[in-house]
Amino acid sequence: MRCGLALLVTTTLAAAPALADVNVYSYRQPELIAPLTEAFTAETGIKVNVAFLEQGMVERLKAEGDRSPADVILTVDIARLSEAVDAGVTRPLMTETLQRNVPPAFHDPDGHWWGLTTRARIVYASRERVPEGEITTYEDLANPKWEGRICTRSGLHTYMIGLTSAYLAHHGPEETKAWLEGLKSNLARRPQGDDRAQVRAIWAGECDISLGNTYYMGEMLSDPDQKDWAESVRLDFPVFDVEGGGTHVNISGVALTKASKNTEDAIRFIEFLTSSEAQEIYAEVNSEYPIAPGAAPSELVAGWGSFTPDNLNLMEIATQRGAALRLTEEVDYDG
């Protein structure tokens, strides 16, 4: 059985927290985590301390070793979860509650990580300049008819590498390289900014199409300064043009750290995060799709309509990450 470490983080840990608390390292912003920790504390009386990290979580856990105060890690993207497992900073965890709440496709077979929510990587298209139905597959994005009309963030960003990894798993290296070259040829500008910056560029008329995660629509609509950007685009859910292909999805997930001192309460917290109650709180705050059976998405997310998730195993996406990075660098996507 594999041995690994995973962490959850939301707020900054100043001094070393009391061991009676549950300590989390998280890549997710504090405002996304606070409603969950507050609900858990109200229900159990157990305090949760969250340290928000922008980067370097695995490196920090490895450096801290057995002295790490972290009991749980909370992060996004299967690649980051797999990185934690491979680094040996997570501990396998398997309970009846977790197995009941999380479908097999969304947790590590040995229990090193457990999925909480999913997000789709979709196309944001100009309502004014891109007719509905013009883009139905990811393969369409390399069509020369879109030359000078697409914006993306860096091809080396985790979210872009996740999509490229999935493309690679479906099509192999030669077709994936050709797709990356075609996509690069269609860019209106050099890759830059985050997913919201691409939507702003569409609103400003700099491009007509971008790739982005679904939850950014929720974030933009709730920000008065960005609402106009969001309302200028339409969400299209492309699929991979292969048998059984669907829309690329990735996850947010949680793991128990190898160094956990308060393991019993940490497991209670992880189980709580996978409950329908917590999933609906989480989905309402972050505009993602809950994983727990029976948990409903927010009204906003439900209004985007249904889609067919890709049938590719998440672990296969993680396995292809290194090759996807090499191909992206080979075509000099960001150049």
- Where is the binding site, in residues? 215-216
Place of tokens 């497991």: 267
Contact (Cβ atoms closer than 8 angstroms) between residue 122 and residue 236: yes
Q: Which domains does the chain have, with CATH numbers?
A: 22-118+249-302 (3.40.190.10), 119-247+308-330 (3.40.190.10)
pLDDT digit string, tens, across residues 53-111: 989 999 999 999 999 999 999 999 999 999 999 999 999 999 999 999 999 999 999 99
- Where is the binding site for Fe cation, in residues? 215-216
pTM of the model: 0.88
SS3 of 124-176: EEECCCCCCCCCCECHHHHCHHHCCCEECCCCCCHHHHHHHHHHHHHHHHHHH
Residue 199, classed as helix, strand or coil, is helix
Question: In the predicted model, what is the mean pLDDT of the chain?
Answer: 93
Between 15 and 122, the more confident residue is: 122
Percent of the chain scoring above 90 in pLDDT: 90
pLDDT digit string, tens, across residues 268-319: 999 999 999 999 998 999 999 999 988 999 999 999 999 999 999 999 999 9
Cα–Cα distances in angstroms (integers) from residue 308 to residues 2, 97, 115, 208, 244, in the given order: 32, 27, 18, 24, 9
Angstrom distance (rounded) from CA 111 to CA 46: 23
Angstrom distance (rounded) from CA 20 to CA 22: 7
Place of tokens 């860019």: 187
